[in-house]
Structure 1
């Protein structure tokens, strides 16, 4: 189709091309009958596609029109008409004068928190409208989220949406959707569901707030492996916003956040933002999910599963020394700023802050866990000594300590080995500080290092993998280290 062509018995005049995607071209056109501009999506298929496959794709486009026509929500793009001419199928849609979320982030970087919350709320509304109609979108992703200048959000492309009532249109074993936004259960072969749409919503919000895709990898197999085995690491999101994203990205659809829980956390995050306070931890409506590796091997036969080793992911552990000196010691639950400095400047100028003293706890000992002083902590398995990190917040683990790094877990040990019962904070503090100090005293160059001791909260203790104390060091002068402090 070219500029100046007419469709729909002359009703629609094509003006110009707006964009292209994997399945079609979007044109700007004018509805000559009503006198309004519209967007027309033309199904675009390879010339060598088999006739039976072409029929399947054409039916998918028709279903997109039927699907969108059944939905009524301000955040869903309206389909006005369907035209079949010149051997192709065209959808006549509401014209949205907006850029998609992917392009916005590419041009301007991460989205501000208040706008992320608005996006989350509007997308949730669109998905709930679809789910009430027994429709699953199946392809929620940044490029399908349109943002206009007034903050309105539109969810586009229900072309691969599958009504629970409709028969499948895809071949057996075929996954439809963008690989980095496909939920773990769908990779395991389960049907798409409202819960899988919510997982994709979480991945989309991660992209919006962090500025990159949580599971972007150099290849599709690597992306699948990351979705099935890795836990995302949040840098900019804290408190209820972090709990929202992590709860949506729960690998188990049975314990993943539902719509009501998502709305609760959106409200909590908005209250914190409106009050002008840093986002601290709030109680979630369920425990944060644990990584589920048991079912992975059967699915990812296409992926070379790499033994990743044990990882500890910390968010919001450290803060700039300059801010500390100006504001004084942090109180429990406070998090770093939503707008951190660049990694290089943070590494050069930051140092861990003292913990708020609790009981007989020294200022260099902090509790970790969802209800601890260090929140947004996910223990995948166990943090092995000699694990080095770039950034004082331990967001990017580096297993090879020959790479320049800012912090290192140089020691860990099991607490209360005798019975396994929760020993109480005072007992753990005494044991952890003594053991970490003993290990610290054996380090070469200890006079230039800063020691931090981490212990679990009672809630974190319920996870068997968290019943340990961790010994962490950074440079006293806030410069980077090369090589393990243990001399390995």
Structure 2
């Protein structure tokens, strides 16, 4: 009997934080799961008191998270000096058990798990709760298809510097975000990294950073890029986007959820509308809007179509977005503008659809004609460093929503700008994205030289001074 109310019926499992019991609530008459929490030896009475106070506070917070993807916390009791958390009893196996017994999940099943856990994390984060220990053994998979995330509040309660000094590492190193291993406070982005590693485990049968020892595992999290998972399409792009080491560039839960919700088209890309992470009040995709702390948004079309064209695949984009190979400043610190070009656009005439350098300024209402072309070896104002064509002119497609096209251009151009494709110090550079107007897009056909469906990535100096020499690698 625990707390004079819960009759222990048997053991459900055990781990580093204690034992989980199957019990019956004698007051209500239902079966529950009771987690008996054990702290490492050597804690002082004050440390134990602080842990318990934090546990109660976090358990109460977690108990208010009413969501089908979150295991409900019913009660917290102390029996003979030992703290217990009473939770909803889920008749399900953990993701660890399912994969260990039957092998990796197929892509469809893994995608459904991803959707449900993402929804649970969104609800938790909206409620002010960060899980801090998302991993396969904390994801429960029911026979009815329900995926639930358990142990909310427990890791948060244990994550206290006074406890970690005793040798207790809160969380599983192979699933902890790099910034957490560096000592940064827990944030929703860290949960999303852990989910990315968990989904990788789901489709591969092993964690992306599993190594023989804890130091080797931590080193791998901080430095090694895992092999690409066998997953394809949106799921692969989401895993890659969640395993971006820079938390500012990492996918948000909302972005990842939208990517997985929208069906892919025949090319393997989608046109999902993904909300961008921008400064409050900074309009996205409006000419002249400066977004100095903008983070690179991710759109499946950008990840799949762009990276396929670069020969990198979806996984290569994670490395590029991590910013590790490009050097210098990324677009999170660069001013970004977007203009539409062609008849009916903000730049009514733009005569270039190929990489080149220009002596011209991009200003709404001003034309950029063919005589603006100049050699990249001499002084110039602008350099078109990438031309993207998400829609073949031989394919009859309607003009996409302007906001979606803008987001695609921002994501794709940012991806390349932040990579080693653009060389040198980027702190003084500005990134401008040019997208076709509807008339320009519609006029682009196989039998016509008019019109264009290209998205152009253009760089220049933030201060308006001229550039000398190309900033594109291997050009």
TM band (smaller chain): 0.5 to 0.7
Question: How far does the alpha carbon of each residue in 1:78-99 deviate from its partner, in whole angstroms, 9 at most, with x for none?
Answer: 1222222222122221111011
Change (3 A) 1:261 1:460: closer
Change (3 A) 1:45 1:173: closer
- 1:259 paired with 2:257, answer no
Instruction: Look up the match of 1:369.
Output: 307
TM-score normalized by the length of structure 2: 0.58
Change (3 A) 1:132 1:119: same
SS at match of 1:135: coil
Q: 1:280 aligns with which of 268, 272, 282?
A: 268
Shift of 1:221: 1.7
Instruction: Look up the match of 2:420.
Output: 465
SS at match of 2:189: helix
Instruction: Look up the match of 2:93.
Output: 99
SS at match of 1:243: helix
Q: 1:62 aligns with which of 50, 56, 59?
A: 56
- 1:135 paired with 2:129, answer yes
Change (3 A) 1:172 1:51: closer
C-alpha separation in 2, matches of 1:34 and 1:224: 45
Task: Name the count of aligned residue pairs.
Answer: 317
Counterparts in 2 of 1:107-126, with a 5 A limit? 107-126=101-120
Does the 8 Å contact 1:69/1:79 carry over to 2? yes
- 1:158 paired with 2:158, answer no
C-alpha separation in 2, matches of 1:464 and 1:26: 47
Change (3 A) 1:178 1:464: closer
C-alpha separation in 1, matches of 2:91 and 2:386: 60
Shift of 1:168: 7.1
Give ranges in structure 1 of 5+ residues lacking alignment: 1-5, 287-332, 336-366, 383-417, 426-456, 469-488
- 1:148 paired with 2:142, answer yes
Change (3 A) 1:152 1:458: closer
Cα RMSD for the two superposed structures: 3.9
Change (3 A) 1:51 1:116: same
C-alpha separation in 1, matches of 2:306 and 2:128: 41
C-alpha separation in 2, matches of 1:460 and 1:47: 49
C-alpha separation in 2, matches of 1:15 and 1:422: 67
SS at match of 1:33: coil
Instruction: Look up the match of 1:213.
Output: 207
Shift of 1:161: 4.5
Q: 2:172 aligns with which of 171, 174, 178?
A: 178
SS at match of 2:313: coil
C-alpha separation in 1, matches of 2:131 and 2:152: 6
Counterparts in 2 of 1:62-81, with a 5 A limit? 62-81=56-75
Does the 8 Å contact 1:60/1:169 carry over to 2? no
Question: How far does the alpha carbon of each residue in 1:34-64 deviate from its partner, in whole angstroms, 9 at most, with x for none?
Answer: 2221111111234554433433443344234
C-alpha separation in 2, matches of 1:211 and 1:73: 28
Change (3 A) 1:424 1:39: closer
C-alpha separation in 2, matches of 1:160 and 1:141: 14
TM-score normalized by the length of structure 1: 0.57
Q: 1:7 aligns with which of 2, 26, 29?
A: 2
Shift of 1:201: 1.2
Question: How far does the alpha carbon of each residue in 1:61-117 deviate from its partner, in whole angstroms, 9 at most, with x for none?
Answer: 423421221211111111222222222122221111011111111111111112112
SS at match of 2:212: coil
Does the 8 Å contact 1:110/1:208 carry over to 2? yes
Give ranges in structure 2 of 5+ residues lacking alignment: 275-301, 326-375, 378-382, 389-411, 424-475
Change (3 A) 1:235 1:53: same
Counterparts in 2 of 1:340-355, with a 5 A limit? none
Shift of 1:191: 0.9
Question: How far does the alpha carbon of each residue in 1:353-412 deviate from its partner, in whole angstroms, 9 at most, with x for none?
Answer: xxxxxxxxxxxxxx9835446522356788xxxxxxxxxxxxxxxxxxxxxxxxxxxxxx
C-alpha separation in 2, matches of 1:47 and 1:461: 51
Shift of 1:176: 2.2
